């Protein structure tokens, strides 16, 4: 029996574990799917404590909002599931192994799967609808009931400040791609402040609503859950909608092989927005709508900036599969940003149409 089995047993309430297998392709935490002798499954995760410095806060938030979501789902008879916390043997919401790793377990969403990229426009609507549903289900939680699990998350000016610091210390001669990235950032310095300076209201948000965090039911094709809840915390709903659209509207995905071919697909972007607004219109205000385009452009730019900074810093935040991975990822997001910028008039028009629909 290896270590992972011993750790999984902490959450198995005495059942026999038959398999612990790697699961998904998260950039931060390590995720495993655990199967027991009765074929029941649960998700086991090692939280990256270099990123989430106070992982107990994640569990505290999960307790607070999953209970709330569960109650609303029952009251409103919605077809929606939320992963639930599975306590460890000692009754805690986590287990710290002898080497100090932080582990937690959550329930597995049955009969559903996620996709890395959008498969068709119906899927795009479902992805948008999942985000709108989730935000709506937590919209009545006071932000004071949620801890900050990741300080500075999605605050673009802070990423820019960090970039400046890392860049100033970087001594290697820049390659043409690195020069391109540096110039790309320089040209958008002022833009980086737009959302933070817009005077928008903080609300409970998901934080990471990318396409592959939306679980789609195997038979109905309907979105039934959104997973990866570590960054549910107070923030701007714009971070969410921007991140969801930048993730879904890039047909080649975050790991596109040839970054120069990356582009924004306006039909997908509009379908995600329509699905989102059908749920979110109930709680969005006129001021929120004004900044929708900016949020799509900004979240693509911000992720590129984060990947690029991590490349310069020596890959200390995101997991990488090869040495230039973070640079490639940055170039993909920057190219996507450029394409979003080129489609500005069309996107703004589609936003207007979707709002009045």
Residue numbers of the site for ligand GN1 (CB under 6 A)? 26-28, 51, 150, 208, 210, 228, 231, 254, 303
Out of Mg ion, ligand GN1, none, what residue 303 binds, judged by CB under 5 to 8 A for its kind, is ligand GN1
Interface characters, 190-229, with Mg ion (x: CB under 5 A): ------------------x-------------------x-
Would you state the structure tokens that stand for residue 211, as one six-digit string?
């396409």
Q: Closest approach of Cβ 149 to Mg ion, in Å?
A: 11
- Size, binding site for Mg ion by CB under 5 A: 2
Please say which residue, 108 or 184, places its beta carbon nearer to Mg ion.
108
Q: Closest approach of Cβ 54 to Mg ion, in Å?
A: 17
| Length of the chain as a residue count | 357
Please say which residue, 4 or 226, places its beta carbon nearer to ligand GN1.
226
Q: Closest approach of Cβ 30 to Mg ion, in Å?
A: 12
DSSP bridge partners of 233: 205
Cβ(139)–Cβ(204) under 8 Å? yes
Out of Mg ion, ligand GN1, none, what residue 81 binds, judged by CB under 5 to 8 A for its kind, is none
Cβ(276)–Cβ(131) under 8 Å? yes
CA distance 96 to 82: 24
Please say which residue, 52 or 276, places its beta carbon nearer to Mg ion.
52
Of 337, 17, 301, nearest to 160 by C-alpha is: 301
Please say which residue, 200 or 244, places its beta carbon nearer to ligand GN1.
244
Please say which residue, 28 or 185, places its beta carbon nearer to ligand GN1.
28
**Binding to Mg ion by residue 254, rule CB under 5 A?**
no
CA distance 355 to 277: 7
Please say which residue, 9 or 311, places its beta carbon nearer to ligand GN1.
311
Out of ligand GN1, Mg ion, none, what residue 101 binds, judged by CB under 5 to 8 A for its kind, is none
Q: Closest approach of Cβ 193 to ligand GN1, in Å?
A: 19
Cβ(119)–Cβ(158) under 8 Å? no
Q: Closest approach of Cβ 207 to Mg ion, in Å?
A: 8
Residue nearest to Mg ion (CB): 208
User: Which run of H or E residues covers position 123?
Assistant: helix 121-138
CB atoms closer than 10 angstroms to residue 267: 12
CA distance 82 to 102: 22
Beta strands 233-235 and 41-47: pairing type?
Answer: unpaired
> CA angle, corner 208, sides to 206 and 212, nearest 5?
120
Of 240, 289, 273, 265, nearest to 342 by C-alpha is: 265
Out of ligand GN1, Mg ion, none, what residue 166 binds, judged by CB under 5 to 8 A for its kind, is none
Please say which residue, 208 or 288, places its beta carbon nearer to Mg ion.
208
Tokens 């820049």 belong to 174
Q: Closest approach of Cβ 14 to ligand GN1, in Å?
A: 31
Would you state the structure tokens that stand for residue 253, as one six-digit string?
């995905």
Interface contacts to Mg ion, rule CB under 5 A: 208, 228
């Amino acid at each position: 029996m290896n270590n992972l089995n011993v750790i999984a047993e902490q959450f198995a309430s005495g059942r026999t574990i038959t398999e612990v297998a790697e699961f998904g392709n998260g950039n931060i935490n390590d995720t495993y799917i655990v199967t027991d002798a009765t074929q029941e499954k649960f998700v086991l995760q090692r939280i990256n404590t270099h990123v989430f410095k106070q992982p107990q806060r994640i569990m505290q938030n999960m307790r607070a909002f999953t209970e709330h979501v569960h109650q609303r789902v029952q009251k409103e008879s919605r077809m929606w599931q939320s992963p639930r916390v599975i306590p460890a043997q000692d009754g805690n919401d986590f287990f710290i192994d002898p080497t100090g790793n932080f582990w937690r377990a959550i329930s597995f969403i049955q009969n559903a799967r996620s996709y890395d990229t959008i498969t068709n426009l119906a899927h795009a609507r479902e992805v948008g609808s999942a985000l709108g549903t989730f935000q709506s289900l937590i919209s009545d939680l006071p932000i004071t009931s949620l801890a900050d699990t990741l300080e500075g998350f999605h605050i673009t000016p802070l990423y820019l400040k960090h970039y400046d610091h890392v860049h100033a210390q970087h001594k290697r001669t820049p390659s043409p791609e690195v020069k391109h990235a540096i110039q790309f950032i320089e040209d958008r310095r002022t833009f980086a402040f737009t959302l933070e300076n817009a005077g928008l209201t903080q609300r409970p948000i998901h934080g990471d609503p990318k396409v592959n965090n939306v679980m789609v039911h195997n038979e109905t094709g309907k979105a039934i859950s959104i997973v990866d809840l570590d960054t549910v915390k107070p923030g701007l709903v714009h971070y969410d909608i921007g991140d969801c659209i930048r993730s879904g509207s890039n047909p080649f995905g975050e790991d596109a092989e040839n970054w120069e071919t990356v582009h924004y697909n306006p039909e997908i972007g509009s379908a995600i927005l329509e699905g989102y607004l059908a749920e979110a219109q109930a709680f969005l205000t006129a001021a929120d709508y004004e900044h929708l385009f900016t949020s799509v452009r900004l979240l693509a730019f911000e992720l590129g900036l984060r990947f690029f900074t991590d490349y310069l810093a020596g890959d200390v935040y995101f997991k990488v599969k090869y040495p230039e991975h973070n640079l490639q990822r940055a170039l993909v997001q920057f190219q996507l940003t450029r394409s979003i910028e080129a489609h500005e008039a069309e996107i703004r028009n589609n936003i207007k149409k979707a709002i009045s629909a």
